[in-house]
Chain A
Amino acid sequence: MDVRMHKGNVFMNTATMAYRNLLKTIHNPDNFMDVIIQPVLFMLMFGYLFGGAIAGGVQAYLPTIVPGILIQTMLSAGSGSGAQIREDLDSGVFDRFKSLPMAHIAPLAGQLFADSLRLLIATVTSLTTGYLMGWRPGVGFGWIVAIGLLAIVTGWALSWVFALMGLLAKSAGAVNSASLMTMLVLSFMSNAFVPLHSLTKPLRVIANLNPVTYVITAIRQILATGSWTHEALLVLVVDVVIVAIFAPLAVWAYDRN
């Protein structure tokens, strides 16, 4: 057989790398445990612990907390990609990827595309847990799908930031602690769990600067009004901008590694 060499194609390379990462996750279902356990645990803990204190009851708190925990889970699922990339880079197999005549973005994009399965599982788990606890949004199922997709797109865009952190960090452990901090600060310094008017002025300023606040607001608006809003559109635009900035930076960091 004569081995024909096609010129490396970015999309084909990325698809192959995504397939590789999917295989890796499927062979190790443990990789899904965090995105399943975390939203369930947080939804139960926060709902039953703080629901009464913040909103006067679990039922009244659910419209606040379901979008909040949804986005928090996206952040932590995205940070998992950063650690995974670091771990991969430290294993010998990345040497081979680098020595192959393929597009440099493919290993990174492949990882993140495969990880959107994690984002999907996290979204479904978060929303289902909310539903089981009594969350009944007054909009059609189509809008639930829409906010799910908005969350996934945002989570995916943010995972490029975590990918960059993974590429710049010294070890997977360092990525984990840095992303845990980022995740905690971004999710708690926002309107995810508490109404903004309950915050002191300096905290409110920070929360208003926090992009997470805008995503959650956009989702709550859609759920409250059953219509597409400017905020939601803005979130999508910002997602595109984040990818446009952080994807090239990540490739640059990958080449430098």
Chain B
Amino acid sequence: MTAINAIEVNHLTKKFGEKTVVDDISFNVRQGEVFGLLGPNGAGKTTTLRMMTTLLKADAGQVKIFGHDTVKEGRLARSMFGLTGQYASVDEDISARENLMIFSRLNGLSRQDAKQRTTELLSEFSLENSADKALKNFSGGMRRRLDLAVSLITRPTLIFLDEPTTGLDPRTRNQMWDTIRRLVKQGSTVVLTTQYLDEADQLADNLAIIDHGKVVKMGTPAELKQQIGGTKLNFTVSHTAQVAQAVKLLADQVTGTIQQVGQQLSMSLAQVTQLTQILATLKQAKINIDHLSVKEPSLDDVFMNLTIGKN
């Protein structure tokens, strides 16, 4: 059996009044992969996701989930995915257990099955100890975990996560990443939106970078970083007299130009392993350096690079 795409998005467009928020977006999501929609605030990520999950009607274009059109076969398409929204979409006034029970019943589980699934999910997401407390007393992380647990009641093979870690502290964020990885290992397809390149890099197999409602770039995280020149190396040459010599020696080794500000040099590395070679060259020429730093490209860099000259 040839695998059909989990999602096919074709020429999706949405206007709010005069403003085109999503502008002719097309992409495919393969089964079993993590697909990231990366972009700054207001780029159109959430609007795209809301159209994919039938929460918002598209002005033009089409979304197919496992081959089913989300407009013509809305109910069927809706039964095939789980969604975790950007704002915790659970009931604040009732407990975690009650939330899971109610959503299980609404998903069509019998009372017996609902009870069992609730117990399973509470333990899977380490929420047993707070199961009967009102959500008002929950931390942000617990709320997100419950939210995700609710999305997984029917064990959907496709899961949408809208900015799953925005606002979480680093420890809770790592827990969330582990949970997402576990889902993928179990065979789920995950579509997530994020504004952190770091997160996309950690989780996504494929990325679409969205800006001003358009897909500006698609590819794997590695490809995208490569395109913007990869890792940045910065260091300061200790003696002013040696700066010119250093630039001359390294010019052949790095792709792109070496930027020079006073004694400070900065250059792009195609691969981090180049660093050893650079340091060896400098040592051989007896050029001393200090304040060395190696920086992974940030989302800011990606955007600067992709949108430069366009605006």
Q: Which residues of B are found within 8 Å of A96, using beta-carbon distances?
A: 83, 85, 89-90, 103, 150
Q: Is there a chain B Cβ closer than 8 Å to A7's Cβ? A: yes
Taken together as a complex, chains A and B put the C-alpha atoms of A189 and B81 apart, in Å, by 52
Which of A22-30, A129-137, A219-227 lines the interface with chain B?
Answer: A22-30
Whether the Cβ atoms of A95 and B89 lie closer than 8 Å is yes
Whether the Cβ atoms of A3 and B117 lie closer than 8 Å is yes
A93: which of B86, B91, B107 is its contact (CB, 8 Å)? B91
Q: Is there a chain B Cβ closer than 8 Å to A5's Cβ? A: yes
Q: Which residues of B are found within 8 Å of A95, using beta-carbon distances?
A: 55, 83, 85, 89
Majority SS at the chain B contact face? loop
Q: Which residues of A are found within 8 Å of B113, using beta-carbon distances?
A: 1, 3-4
Q: Which residues of B are found within 8 Å of A98, using beta-carbon distances?
A: 54-55
Q: Which residues of B are found within 8 Å of A230, using beta-carbon distances?
A: none
Whether the Cβ atoms of B85 and A5 lie closer than 8 Å is no
Q: Which residues of B are found within 8 Å of A210, using beta-carbon distances?
A: none
41-67 of chain B: CB within 8 A of chain A: 53-55
Taken together as a complex, chains A and B put the C-alpha atoms of A1 and B182 apart, in Å, by 19
Taken together as a complex, chains A and B put the C-alpha atoms of A28 and B93 apart, in Å, by 7
Q: With CB as the reference atom, state the residue of chain A lying closest to B53.
A: A99
Whether the Cβ atoms of B53 and A13 lie closer than 8 Å is no
Q: Which residues of B are found within 8 Å of A92, using beta-carbon distances?
A: 85-90
Q: Is there a chain B Cβ closer than 8 Å to A8's Cβ? A: yes
Q: Is there a chain A Cβ closer than 8 Å to B154's Cβ? A: yes
Encoded as 1 (CB less than 8 Å from any A CB) or 0, chain B from 257 to 270 comes to 00000000000000
Q: With CB as the reference atom, state the residue of chain A lying closest to B154.
A: A3
B94: which of A1, A12, A27 is its contact (CB, 8 Å)? A27
Q: Is there a chain A Cβ closer than 8 Å to B68's Cβ? A: no
Whether the Cβ atoms of A1 and B120 lie closer than 8 Å is yes
Whether the Cβ atoms of B110 and A4 lie closer than 8 Å is yes
Q: Is there a chain A Cβ closer than 8 Å to B105's Cβ? A: yes
Taken together as a complex, chains A and B put the C-alpha atoms of A97 and B78 apart, in Å, by 11
Q: Which residues of B are found within 8 Å of A27, using beta-carbon distances?
A: 93-94, 134
Q: With CB as the reference atom, state the residue of chain B lying closest to A1.
A: B116
Question: A5 with B107: in contact, given A99-B83, A101-B78 (CB under 8 Å)?
Answer: yes
Q: Which residues of A are found within 8 Å of B106, using beta-carbon distances?
A: 8, 13, 16-17, 97, 100, 102, 106
Q: Is there a chain A Cβ closer than 8 Å to B75's Cβ? A: yes
Taken together as a complex, chains A and B put the C-alpha atoms of A80 and B211 apart, in Å, by 42
13-72 of chain B: CB within 8 A of chain A: 53-55
Q: Which residues of A are found within 8 Å of B92, using beta-carbon distances?
A: 91
Whether the Cβ atoms of B155 and A3 lie closer than 8 Å is yes
Whether the Cβ atoms of A93 and B89 lie closer than 8 Å is yes
Encoded as 1 (CB less than 8 Å from any B CB) or 0, chain A from 182 to 216 comes to 00000000000000000000000000000000000
Q: Which residues of B are found within 8 Å of A20, using beta-carbon distances?
A: 91, 94, 98, 102
Taken together as a complex, chains A and B put the C-alpha atoms of A13 and B103 apart, in Å, by 10
Q: Which residues of A are found within 8 Å of B153, using beta-carbon distances?
A: 3
81-135 of chain B: CB within 8 A of chain A: 81, 83, 85-94, 98, 102-103, 105-110, 113, 116-117, 120, 134
A sample of 16 more A-B contacts (CB under 8 A), given A16-B105, A23-B98, A24-B91, is: A1-B116, A1-B117, A3-B154, A3-B155, A12-B105, A20-B91, A23-B93, A23-B94, A27-B94, A92-B85, A93-B89, A94-B89, A96-B89, A99-B78, A100-B107, A101-B79
- Residues of A near any B CB (own CB < 8 A): 1, 3-8, 12-13, 16-17, 19-20, 23-24, 27-28, 91-102, 106
